[in-house]
Chain A
């Protein structure tokens, strides 16, 4: 139920040189961190991040019927708030930049595949997957003068992944006025500055095979890192495996030989988009996609192999960086 309502108390925690706050929002465990020294205002800044993330959820969750996004999907047009407008604009930009490999209009396909309620509430279901409705980012029309959004008939939008990355970037930019900071939006992590005396924040890359272990630890002082994977949000229907990464060209869960992709980019939102695109493309083509853009990345195959792009090596944590 946490996914649906985003309730739960924020908890102040200390880690090494930083003070942080852990909380639930957008169906994920999130946290925000400020490096010492932290005054009262800094603590208020952390609380403001919690409030901001919950506002993003309240406006952009597809699971909340009263959210702005749900109203857009229900009525096909809306006069958008600045928040919805900003995220939608970035989503369309990402769709254009990736030739439609990232597409925010996959909601109908996602629901048709069975992901029609918060993940925690999904039940084994024997019902056949439904027919998918159109996936077409070009069918989202933005009118900047009136900040109005119109969707073509049948087109529905999901901003789940990209909204987390976007929100992490915005929250980190906000927090950075009090010093070096890090914002973790459910695995999409934005970083601004390094804690005093450190070269960067240590950020683990979780091992998709073992929940409790990191495959690598990165040292980050700027930009963002995100992981897209089919290792967790997956379910079975009629004996078939489904997951939440939809291939926009087929309208069904992507047939990929990859288990997860982690990407660093100058912004967390782009890291999220690039990781998703590489996952959809699969091992060989995804590697070429990331390599051509010289993006630091770690790809994990379903058969257990893993590869780092050359650009990722300089980001690995090294002894003596403390």
Chain B
């Protein structure tokens, strides 16, 4: 009897105060949103710290590229260079901690390797 009265009292209270339900709903939605945002930020950080490759052209115009490990995208002059197809996972070698400290400064080299001309 006591429980029944108590539950009945809560229901009656909720009916009396509909804003309580709205606040609870808002809290649950907020927590879910925070989880989603946090997760996506964490994933992005992971990508940036571990696998981003940045090559250092001598001219100083740096390219910072967020692409799969040991794959970089160059130029844009070639046909179809905008969206390189991702490599199959089996072809991507595992490397760690080797790409994050590629420098922002390099001297202009006296020589360049290229196909002979």
A: residues with CB less than 8 A from B are 15-16, 18, 20, 27-29, 31, 33, 119, 160-161, 164, 182, 184, 186-189, 201-210, 212-217, 225-233, 259-260, 262, 284, 287, 291, 300-310, 313-314, 316-320, 322
Contacts and interface: CB of A to CB of B under 8 A. Distances in A.
5 contacts: A187-B117, A202-B106, A217-B106, A304-B73, A304-B74
A317 B109 CA distance: 10
Given A28-B116, A303-B80, A303-B84, 12 more contacts: A187-B113, A204-B109, A287-B91, A304-B74, A304-B80, A305-B71, A307-B71, A308-B70, A310-B95, A316-B56, A317-B107, A318-B101
Nearest to B114: A206
Interface residues on B, range: 35 or more
Contacts of A260: 114-115
A184 B99 contact: no
Contacts of A187: 112-117
Given A307-B71, A313-B98, A213 B59 contact: yes
Contact of A304 (B84, B104, B106): B84
Contact of A20 (B77, B110, B112, B114): B110
By DSSP majority rule, is chain A's interface helix, strand, loop, or mixed?
strand
B53 interface: yes
B99 A186 contact: no
By DSSP majority rule, is chain B's interface helix, strand, loop, or mixed?
loop
A309 B70 contact: yes
B115 A233 contact: yes
A303 B113 contact: no
Given A300-B74, A303-B81, A304-B84, A319 B58 contact: no
Contacts of A320: 103
